[in-house]
Structure 1
Amino acid sequence: MSGHGAPTPELSTINTQGLSVAVVASSWHTTIMDGLLDGARRALQDANISNSVTVRVPGSFELPVAAARLAATYDAVVALGVVIRGGTPHFDYVCQAATNGITKVSVETGKPVGFGVLTCDTEQQGLDRAGLADSQEDKGYEATAAAIETAAVLRDLGL
């Protein structure tokens, strides 16, 4: 499983006072997305983040533009989405556009963007990573924790 060796976030030990976080989530693959969003909400709660917003967009392709706008007013952004391989190259184009766009948002705005876009060959791979009761991983939580931790580090460094 890809999560082997991942750090365990200790959000309750991080000074998150005053941080604001925006979560932008796609709408495809409802069951998987519900799990990712629940994980993001748990991470926000564990980090005692009270200033947060969740915004829904149609798909993963739309995540970068929403993330860019949200990064203008939030300390961190979390991008959540699911792309499942089909029989055409569409998967490759959407995954590349989402990845490059989200990276560009983070670099150009200087704001951390948690990358919670699952790029899966099968629906089962998405379910295994969605943070559901029988999932092996919780990528919504992990992406949110990464964004929060990075925002706190940057703030503490005065950046």
Structure 2
Amino acid sequence: MSGAGAPRIEVDGAGLRVTVVAASWHTQVMDGLLAGARGALERAGVANVRVVRVPGSFELPVAAARAAEHGADAVVALGVVIRGGTPHFEYVCAAATNGLTDVSVRTGVPVGFGVLTCDDEQQALDRAGLPGSREDKGAEAVEAAIATVVALRDL
């Protein structure tokens, strides 16, 4: 499982403005990712949270860019792309990954990467933070984004 060796990150996000941009495809998985993100935001003390829904993972970068350019201290991008029988998977995954990386580097606003890129639906369910899931990538993306905000303050 990819989560083996992951650090335990505990962060204090009090006073931060965080925008969660979440895709709409694969409702069950997205509901889990979003619930995990909300739980992590609450545990970190983030009270100023905005959630923006977009159609799919391809649209995450443009929403993340808008949030970063309009005052978010951190952005958390949540989505899921499940491999099919065409190259569409590779194009969407590359576009989302490259686009979100560009937003973070260009704006200086940390972007938590909570986009699942899975071979099948079961892999997505195992990472969605649902009852019975092995991992909670929504929560992990929040923790990473907030920890990066804190780390950047020290530079």
Partner of 1:149: 147
Structure 2 residue matching 1:6: 3-state secondary structure: coil
User: Are 2:14 and 2:47, in contact at CA under 8 Å, matched by a contact in 1?
Assistant: no
TM-score by length of 1: 0.95
**Equivalent position to 2:93, from 92, 95, 100:** 95
Counting matched residue pairs gives 154
**1:4 aligns to 2:4 (yes or no):** yes
Q: Distance in 2 between matches of 1:114 and 1:50?
A: 17
Letter in 2 for 1:42: G
TM-score by length of 2: 0.97
Query: What are the Cα deviations for residues 18-39 of structure 1, in whole angstroms up to 9, with x where unaligned?
Result: 2110000000000000000000
Structure 2 residue matching 1:117: 3-state secondary structure: strand
Q: Distance in 1 between matches of 2:15 and 2:115?
A: 26
Letter in 1 for 2:68: A
Partner of 1:126: 124
Aligned Cα RMSD in Å? 0.9
Structure 2 unaligned segments of length 5 or more: list them. Answer: none
Structure 1 unaligned segments of length 5 or more: list them. Answer: none
**1:60 aligns to 2:57 (yes or no):** yes
Counterpart mapping for 1:10-159 below 5 A: 10-11=10-11, 14=12, 16-72=13-69, 73-155=71-153, 157=154
Q: Distance in 2 between matches of 1:90 and 1:17?
A: 40
Query: What are the Cα deviations for residues 108-127 of structure 1, in whole angstroms up to 9, with x where unaligned?
Result: 00010000000000000000
